[in-house]
Amino acid sequence: MHSNFLRPMVVLLIATLSCAASTSEAQNRERDGTQWPSLDQGFLFVEGKYVPRPYEFRREGEHYFVNEINLASLGVDLSAYEEEVKTHQDRRDGKKRRGKSRDPISKFHWDLYLTIRFNDPVLLVSGLPPLWFGESTGGDLLRVLVDDEKRASAAKSVPDWKPIIPLKPTDSPRVMEYLSEWLASFRPSSTLLSNATARIEVLDTVEAANAQSSEATIRLATVGYPLTILMMVLVVLAFGHLLSHRPTPLDRGGTLEPSGNAFPPELSVHFNRSLMLIGGLSAVDLIWTLLVSQAGAMHELNPIGSRMIDDPLELIVFKVLVTTAALGLLYFCRHVPLARQASWWGCLVLTLVASRWLIFNSMFIS
């Protein structure tokens, strides 16, 4: 019995260790540059010409390649990498650390791979340092390259594009001069236009979403305090109403006649007050939901509301119709004990929801 139990456990352990070893070996090969996956993204420009995708990164002995381009033969200025490697080597020797020191071309190859992997543009020019452009400046560069008017304007006055790796003061004039000449003579290919347009659309979508989120955050900060005060007032009134007018025996049995003296005026007042509080608390809950979700501070867990949260008008119409229908049905059935109990419990539930909103918002209001 013990043998039958241990055998699958041993097989599972061996399989796990084998997979871990294979994964570690693959990661080491990728890190060393001997086996990297092909990349169908990013934008590589060599001596002013666009290199079409996909990009194959490989290492053959001491030589590093992108497709058929030997990086060492480009004549790119790698002085910044040489200084970084030398500094790292000095620190390692000073602290007597063990480990493999990477040469400048190897580190340059790795940075090029990462930049392309992040779908950003890279310019490699003989005699100049590598020009890496991040998501923001890279998007601006692509917008210029695909538009003839923007490209002509940028050639006359090169925008202040900030590469990821800052340029030395002595390199900036040479880089600006090259960019001006390059933009003046550059003509995008159909492949570049297709790839760049797709990337620009993605960046525009992200920027629009970020702008909407920023506006929603400002809007939430503006109305958050007065809305919190309003909700505090409603919660106090609702708790007072619920504690003062709990369901009576009359609400738990029998059916009241709609005429005569069988329907006490006090009961009618309490019932109508519950309905008004339900309507007010529902409205404030809707406002809070829209403001906070648009600011990206919450995720709607309600499966129905989560499908409509991206369309405020649809959510508002749905909430108003459902709440109005529920209140109308309760009022129509006000002579039925179950309806009076439902109004009290509905008011209690929405009061607790409003209290949760107060606790949530108090964490953001200083």
Question: pTM for the full model?
Answer: 0.63
Secondary structure element (H or E) that encloses residue 131, with its range: strand 131-132
Query: Of the spans 63-77, 151-165, 284-298, which averages the highest pLDDT?
Result: 63-77
Return d(Cα 299, Cα 66) in angstroms, integer: 43
By three-state DSSP, how is residue 60 classified?
A: strand
Rg (CA), the chain: 34
Residue ranges in the chain assigned as alpha helix (H): 2-32, 79-94, 104-117, 135-145, 148-156, 172-185, 190-244, 265-294, 303-308, 312-332, 337-362
Return d(Cα 120, Cα 136) in angstroms, integer: 9
pLDDT over 50 at 86, yes or no:
yes
pLDDT band for 290, please (50, 70, 90 cuts). confident
By the 8 A CB rule, do 39 and 117 touch?
A: yes
- Tokens 């080491």 correspond to 28
Task: Kindly state the average pLDDT of the residues 144-167.
Answer: 82
Q: Please report the pLDDT score of residue 23 as a whole number.
A: 46
Task: Kindly state the average pLDDT of the residues 121-150.
Answer: 89
Instruction: For residue 264, say if its preceding peptide bond is cis, omega within 30 degrees of 0.
Output: no
Looking at the chain, the whole-number percentage of residues with pLDDT higher than 90 is 27
Angle at 232 between CA 341 and CA 234, to 5 degrees: 35
pLDDT over 80 at 320, yes or no:
yes
Q: Whole-number mean pLDDT of the chain?
A: 79
Task: Kindly state the average pLDDT of the residues 176-182.
Answer: 90
pLDDT over 70 at 250, yes or no:
no
How far is the CA of 336 from the CAs of 208, 242, 244, 266, in angstroms? 52, 19, 21, 16
